[in-house]
Structure 1
């Protein structure tokens, strides 16, 4: 058997392995690819560095450092907030308790109308308080004294010991129109949201609403008014106070109400002067008899007298329970409010003629209006 390095008995020929040459060729290709990739990375990195910045998350973003935002011009809402906002205060209603000392039982807002510390708010904000605290727009708290309060109109005047305070300007609520811009400023839900500004329109004027035994003529607005806004300002675009925020219908959105400032001015003047509002008083309590009831019972339409206050003008004029007042000061009474409206046009001390029905006959009386203080 012939023997050589490539053959051994079986006749199988081993192919010579050329590994060294193939290995060197592969290494060369890898080095070429690595060099090309490195060169591309260097050039790409230079481009990115020049045109983009990288944020902390590794995402490349355009370079925005040189871009600026133009300042927006002030609108009427900005101006009103800056003008009236400093004159709006927080009002805390505090009471003395037997076991816990002084406790806050409610809060609202108020409007500074005199630089010497006079503030107007709602009666219901301070009702039942033994102590009142006012928080100025800067956060300073001051004790307040109640100068006067009027249940009928829901107006109260407070006084703090301070001078040179910012003051809100009262406007003319008779010039308010439906659709005018309305801006409400106050402390909804308490001091945490002090100075909140909401905007809407005047939804209605001279709206009549009744709360408990009180009847109001108010301005209606859809500017947001919430608990704590009571006593705050409803302003026009000129930054003038046109109303004192007072009520909201909780079952509906966008139905808030404000006492017209022209009505409030008269009450504020009375409270500043006397500490109360002097009103003419007839001295009767009763119910209105409408046409249907009058026909059923065979009596005239009018105010049926149920009670006469001893010593009042009605008592001195001879009016008794069971009488029916059918006319007052020359006005025929077609609803109970007619009597109230006629009375309010008069002043304390006036003598007013009234027509009364009793037991099938009519007679005239003269009633001297006395003073009602509540």
Structure 2
């Protein structure tokens, strides 16, 4: 039977024949009702899932957005976004500083920074030669500063952050490194923590503390960044390994600390590049790692033991460029150079197998040797090259006052 005839027969079914066709008709109605039930169940499931998801999302959102932060006395509760807390933690880990970081460094370090007055005796009595800053490194009164701050002093005065003024004695000086250690008769003094300058990076925060312009502006704090590291600056024939910073330095800052944002001393403020009004923000600090061993030697021995030739001179070169070296102007008595027979007017052209053109070349060569070692030197004298064996010695100087 084709489909058309089938539907025609269904239309012609009489009520009496409904019972015989009920099974077929009932089957069709039952299938439609089953689909409706399934659809209803599905709608209920979706509705329940949506409600559950909404509640879960709201719960998770509340856990993410809200946290309780208690004050130290636990009397107050502040509700804050976790996102803000996490951002703050992230910023802290990344090294960014809060607005109060410099304040905290100043509060922690300033008590250990002192003012130093250099006084000399003349016909009219004690006169001020100058002033600078210092850093208390030992609670029993040891203070590190620059050599040039106390150079030529007949009397050294120290002014503590509390305002108390004390006499100081010179424990030891090292002109070559421009460092000195002085001591006051006091106990339980606040001290500054010495850091590790090898970890300093360009762009790090830098904080300088000192008596800018003397006692008129004690405990001045300036801040900037580390502009460069491992700078080599030649001053008076000596090579200094320094940190460069744009933190403002003024007369009186010499000998004061250059700190990192954690409050550790990473350098000792020493030099400032100046060329009238054309130069701004170029200051230098002796790295604390360079200073540590020198400070220890000054405290224990009053001086630093390092090998020296015992000569003074300047760079020269002949007109025909055949002879280049250091024209020797002075030879220290009883020095290795003097014992070896080196004389003023000689030209030192080679040392330890290396050509020398400046005093800084000699400094670099001697840095790799110890006291008592012998090295070969070559000098030019009256048109001849003469070889000499030089025993490295320590030049004895009266550093105590």
Match of 1:141 in 2: 165
Q: TM-score, normalised by structure 2?
A: 0.68
What pairs up with 1:114-133 in 2 under 5 angstroms?
Answer: 114-133=138-157
**C-alpha displacement at 1:267, in angstroms?**
1.7
SS at match of 1:169: coil
2:259 to 231, 235, 258: 235
**C-alpha displacement at 1:87, in angstroms?**
0.6
Structure 2 distance, partners of 1:103, 1:321, is 38
**C-alpha displacement at 1:326, in angstroms?**
3.0
- Write out per-residue CA displacement over residues 86-128 of structure 1, whole angstroms, 9 at most, x where no aligned residue: 11111111223323x3333321111000011100011111122
Residue 333 (str. 1) matches residue 356 (str. 2): yes
- Write out per-residue CA displacement over residues 253-298 of structure 1, whole angstroms, 9 at most, x where no aligned residue: 21111111111112211211221223322133333234xx3xx246
SS at match of 1:258: strand
Question: Is the contact made by 1:279 and 1:373 (CA closer than 8 Å) also made in structure 2?
Answer: no
Question: Is the contact made by 1:91 and 1:107 (CA closer than 8 Å) also made in structure 2?
Answer: yes
Residue 90 (str. 1) matches residue 115 (str. 2): yes
Give the direction of change, closer, same or farther, for the CA distance of 1:254–1:298 in structure 2 (3 Å limit): closer
Residue 168 (str. 1) matches residue 195 (str. 2): no
Structure 2 distance, partners of 1:180, 1:121, is 24
Structure 2 distance, partners of 1:302, 1:110, is 39
- Write out per-residue CA displacement over residues 301-322 of structure 1, whole angstroms, 9 at most, x where no aligned residue: 3334444445332233233445
**C-alpha displacement at 1:211, in angstroms?**
3.3
Match of 2:250 in 1: 226
**C-alpha displacement at 1:364, in angstroms?**
3.3
Structure 2 distance, partners of 1:308, 1:107, is 33
**C-alpha displacement at 1:202, in angstroms?**
0.7
Gaps of 5+ in 1: 1-72
Give the direction of change, closer, same or farther, for the CA distance of 1:190–1:305 in structure 2 (3 Å limit): closer
Match of 2:46 in 1: none
Question: Is the contact made by 1:280 and 1:371 (CA closer than 8 Å) also made in structure 2?
Answer: yes
Match of 2:306 in 1: 279
1:257 to 274, 281, 284: 284
Give the direction of change, closer, same or farther, for the CA distance of 1:103–1:348 in structure 2 (3 Å limit): same
Give the direction of change, closer, same or farther, for the CA distance of 1:133–1:327 in structure 2 (3 Å limit): same
Q: Which of the two has greater helix per residue? A: 2
**C-alpha displacement at 1:75, in angstroms?**
2.4
- Write out per-residue CA displacement over residues 320-353 of structure 1, whole angstroms, 9 at most, x where no aligned residue: 4454433212323254421221123222211112
Question: Is the contact made by 2:149 and 2:254 (CA closer than 8 Å) also made in structure 1?
Answer: yes
Residue 288 (str. 1) matches residue 312 (str. 2): no
- Write out per-residue CA displacement over residues 215-235 of structure 1, whole angstroms, 9 at most, x where no aligned residue: 422211110111111111100
SS at match of 2:241: strand
Give the direction of change, closer, same or farther, for the CA distance of 1:203–1:150 in structure 2 (3 Å limit): same
Question: Is the contact made by 1:276 and 1:373 (CA closer than 8 Å) also made in structure 2?
Answer: no
- What CA RMSD, in Å, does the superposition of the two structures yield over aligned residues? 2.2
Match of 2:221 in 1: 197
Match of 2:102 in 1: 77
Match of 1:301 in 2: 324
**C-alpha displacement at 1:170, in angstroms?**
0.7
Structure 2 distance, partners of 1:162, 1:148, is 18
Residue 319 (str. 1) matches residue 346 (str. 2): no
Give the direction of change, closer, same or farther, for the CA distance of 1:149–1:371 in structure 2 (3 Å limit): same
Match of 2:51 in 1: none
Q: TM-score, normalised by structure 1?
A: 0.73
Question: Is the contact made by 1:277 and 1:373 (CA closer than 8 Å) also made in structure 2?
Answer: no
Structure 1 distance, partners of 2:153, 2:169, is 11
**C-alpha displacement at 1:185, in angstroms?**
0.8
